[in-house]
Amino acid sequence: MELRTRLQASTKEAMKAKDSARLSTLRLIGAAIKDREIAARGGEGDETLNEGDLVLILSRMVKQRQESAKAYEEGGRLELAAKEEEEIRIIQEFLPRQMNEEETRAAIDAAIAEIGAEGIRDMGRVMAVLKDRHAGQMDFGAVGPAVKARLLA
């Protein structure tokens, strides 16, 4: 099922179940998608986002909430950190399965072999291939240093 359809169906289910926390998070996702579509439209036509764009939006939302949860924990606001963690859990339901270390290493090696990367100068091209193929499936903050280490080896 398409991601947008799954989001809409889940929103309806949350409304029927009167699950206010889940509904609130799903509405935040819907608003973020709508904002991105309006920005992409740029005043002309009807620009709809593809699955990759939606996954990118959701990934950013998770990252924002992880940073907020960490800040709340450091500030001793555990109830707010718990709320952020719950939102992360709900958003992650719609993201593709995260790749484990071994799968990530294999994807990095495949991308390097595919473009014939020979050094650190090719890091941007390798990252572009990985982002294109595995958006939402890996943490690119952790993948960047791994690609760099692999290219320097």
Full pLDDT tens readout for the chain, 153 residues: 688 899 999 999 999 999 999 999 999 999 999 998 888 777 555 567 788 788 888 988 998 999 999 999 999 999 999 999 999 999 989 988 888 889 999 999 999 999 888 889 989 999 999 888 887 788 788 888 989 988 887
Q: Both 15 and 79 in a single domain?
A: yes
CB 17, CB 46: distance < 8 Å? no
- So what's the pLDDT on residue 13? 95
Q: Both 39 and 114 in a single domain?
A: no
CB 131, CB 123: distance < 8 Å? no
Q: Both 107 and 139 in a single domain?
A: yes
- So what's the pLDDT on residue 45? 52
Question: Among 92, 110, 130, where does a domain finish?
Answer: 92
d(CA 66, CA 88): 7
Does this model's pTM top 0.85? My answer is: no
Q: Both 86 and 107 in a single domain?
A: no
Q: Both 128 and 148 in a single domain?
A: yes
Question: Among 46, 74, 92, where does a domain finish?
Answer: 92
Q: Both 113 and 142 in a single domain?
A: yes
Range of the domain at 63: 3-92
- So what's the pLDDT on residue 46? 55
CA distances from 95 to 120, 147, 152 (A): 30, 23, 32
Q: Both 110 and 63 in a single domain?
A: no
- So what's the pLDDT on residue 44? 58
